[in-house]
Amino acid sequence: MNAKNFFWFIVLCAAVWGLISLVYFYTGGFYWDVPGFLFGLTSIPGQILLFALGLAVLTGFGRLIGPKTGTACAVLFGATFTLFFMLDAFVYTQYRFHIGLAMLELFFGPAGREIFVFPWTTYFILALAILGVFAGVYGLTRLARKITWGKKAIWAVCVVWLAAFLTYNGLHAWGKFMMVPSVLAQVSYMPWANPLSANRKLRRMGFEPKAEPYSTPKQGTLNYPLHPMQCKAQKPLNILIILIDSWRADSFNQTVMPRTWEAYSQAQDAFYFTNHLSGGNATEAGVFSLFYSMPYLYWDAFTSRQLPPVFISQLQSQGYQLGIFASSKLNSPEFHQNVFSSIPDLRIESKGNNKVERDLDIQKDFTAFIKNLSAQKPFFGFLFYDAAHGQEFPAGGDVFKPVKEQMNYLLLTKNTDPTPYMNRYKNSVYFIDGLIGKTFELLKQQNLLDNTVIVLTGDHGQEVNDTRNNFWGHNSNFAKWQTNVPLIVWWPGQEGQTRSYRTAHYDIMPFLLTHALGCTNPASDYSTGTDLFDPQPRPYTLISSYTKKAVQTGDKISVIDNYGYLEHYDENYHKLPSGADPKAISRAFKEFSKFYK
């Protein structure tokens, strides 16, 4: 292709990307007031211009080698960019975030094949789509050669495109200064958007913004815990934490989990917390908030320093025998560099070709651990089951029917009947319930039930199109199906009961550190929560996803994106005109800097 053909090829690709980008706005919602309409209209060509320039640079190197190489590069990189937009648009419709580094690290990480499980039909459709895109982009190179418009048309396109880019950035700078909701709400629609902001410069010039969006406090040097831990258990108790990946709050019942329900209902020392929130709607945030008792925003700080939570440090200093058994790999996400970073010879992975086999493997190893304990020292056990995350269960384990194959997310819509997929999920939880039943039998046989605190909960929930907005799985919204999880605590020597006040993962470690490990520090020294058994109302609960944060007060949830813009919902993910108490939001955001000097 000559230079003119090359230009029109870039324009044609950008036009295709623009059409794909309409999906973002259809999903997020259109705004018809003048500022919102103009911003939405110009944000598509304005943001796509950056991708077009990237394609021009990459393809331009091929043109320097020769015409054929230039065409090959045009097809290769044009198809790659187009596939990115298609895949990103699909991810956005499902999860309301864009493809980013964290997601790519997880997908291509050591546990990628364990976390992302798809039926063969998904890969077949993807293969056809890739072939189709490459053929289509090759067709664009042929079409570009037939365009005869000359320099005037090229200049006209450049002027209009540049005007859209400048308008897009200018409108955002103005909208952020004036806090125009219809402008700020659309910033996160386009992938990797980072439009112009002029608030700092305008403030230096003497102009004060109408209001500042919520922003995350700057990080500093970790100061954790705030004061040295003062702990000495009078009579050390064994501690067992059982975590079920993707455990919905409504799946803890006599039908789906008969063995666990029996262990709860027949025990005199069992507490059931019926209004419990995880600290996140994904595994990283859920596990981190449980063990560190603080928001997921601290993840990078603790991981880079490989600083374990005070709970693990206290277990080690008090001589506990440690048994960590996770079905999925502990190095993806990198729990081996934060939560369990101080544990020598950490069991990183389990044996098995699927989640069922790996869950059975941790059960086998945990059984061996318990049977070989020294009677002279207490133990801490951690069991992390994974079958529910992929809705997997053994052959012949389809107790709940009808069922379908694992979700093919490419074919799911908001009108898809969720019943067969919910039954798959129930079958996977039923399988895990059998393993938990074996765990209680094992502890009973070894005479350990009477001196073992058992905490059973989930890292996050699991939605099966409950909102009828085509949400399947987790990490896509903060509705109750993705954030509420069961919590049952067996506490020897106490009279169990049902507790209905709001609790969160942040409250579990203050309970264990205080009552099981004999720590006298106030929870505020190491936690953003409070004692699990303190019935005083929590003023707010912080919940995190990989890309967003939320503050929940009562049944109102305010979601804050990376640009500081707020959207408000109820627990069923219905939009509200107002959300969490603004004072509570301000207080909650102080927690993001509490443990920095």
Give 513-574 as a DSSP string. HHHTS-B-S-GGGT-SS--TT--SPPS-EEEE-SS-EEEEETTEEEEE-TTS-EEEEETT--
238-541 CATH: 3.40.720.10
Question: Taking a C-beta distance cutoff of 8 angstroms, is the pair 390, 117 a contact?
Answer: yes
- Mean pLDDT per block of 10 residues along the chain (597 residues) reads 87 96 90 92 95 92 81 93 94 83 68 67 88 95 91 94 95 88 87 85 71 61 94 92 97 98 96 97 96 94 93 97 97 94 96 96 98 95 96 95 83 88 97 98 96 97 91 91 97 96 98 97 96 94 90 90 82 87 83 86
Q: Which two tokens stand for residue 300?
A: 């990078």
Predicted local confidence at residue 116, as pLDDT: 66
Predicted local confidence at residue 100, as pLDDT: 79
Predicted local confidence at residue 293, as pLDDT: 97
User: How is the beta sheet containing 379-385 ordered, strand by strand?
Assistant: 321-326, 379-385, 238-244, 452-458, 487-490, 270-273, 498-499
Longest dimension (CA), the chain: 87
Please give the C-alpha separations between residue 305 and each of 225, 248, 315, 330, 362, in angstroms, as whole numbers: 14, 33, 20, 17, 28
Predicted local confidence at residue 238, as pLDDT: 97
Beta-strand relationship, 276-277 and 270-273: unpaired
User: What tens digit of pLDDT does each residue of 541-551 get?
Assistant: 999 998 889 99
Helices (H), 294-410: 299-305, 310-317, 355-371
Nearest to 440 by CA among 511, 363, 499, 373: 363
Give the other-Cβ count within 10 Å of 304's Cβ. 11
Please give the C-alpha separations between residue 282 and each of 246, 296, 579, in angstroms, as whole numbers: 8, 10, 22
Predicted local confidence at residue 378, as pLDDT: 97
- Burial (Cβ within 10 Å: 0-12, 13-18, ≥19) of residue 498: exposed
Predicted local confidence at residue 406, as pLDDT: 79
Distance CA 422, CA 367 (A): 31
Question: Taking a C-beta distance cutoff of 8 angstroms, is the pair 411, 421 a contact?
Answer: no
What percent helix, strand, coil does the chain show, rounded to 5? 45, 10, 40
Distance CA 42, CA 173 (A): 14
Give the other-Cβ count within 10 Å of 94's Cβ. 18
CATH 3.40.720.10 in the chain: give the residue spans: 238-541
Question: Taking a C-beta distance cutoff of 8 angstroms, is the pair 225, 526 a contact?
Answer: yes
Please give the C-alpha separations between residue 557 and each of 296, 484, 567, in angstroms, as whole numbers: 17, 13, 8
User: What tens digit of pLDDT does each residue of 412-425 get?
Assistant: 888 899 999 999 99
